[in-house]
Amino acid sequence: MTKHSVISARVDADTMALVDNIAAAQGRSRAWLVAQAVREYAEREAEMLAFIEEGERSAREEPLISADEMLDWIAAKREEIRAKRNKDAA
């Protein structure tokens, strides 16, 4: 069984009205909607933190490339995307 914790937050009346309207439209409780919003926000932030940490690790441990090399890489990726679009359109 999943253990639940209770949290509280102060929100303005307009935000509460939005939450209540969305919950009603979806046939969900206010608590379910808020829990879902907190879960999705926390997951997105955790992904971003992991992404940043990976970038920092990479910058410390892996060789970096020059700006010119990056511009060449971007140009090659753009060309790759154009070629795929042209192929898909054909």
Domain boundaries, the chain: 13-64
* pLDDT at res. 2: 80
b/e map 38-50, b = 16+ CB within 10 Å: eeeeeeeeeeeee
* Secondary structure (H, E, C), the chain: CCCCCCCCCCCCHHHHHHHHHHHHHHCCCHHHHHHHHHHHHHHHHHHHHHHHHHHHHHHHHCCCCCHHHHHHHHHHHHHHHHHHHHHHHC
Judge contact between 33 and 23, C-beta under 8 A: yes
pLDDT in tens, the chain (90 residues): 688 999 999 999 999 999 999 999 999 999 999 999 999 999 999 999 999 999 999 989 988 889 999 999 999 999 999 999 988 887
* pLDDT at res. 1: 64
Q: What is the pTM of this model?
A: 0.63
Other residues' Cβ atoms within 10 Å of the Cβ of residue 73: 11
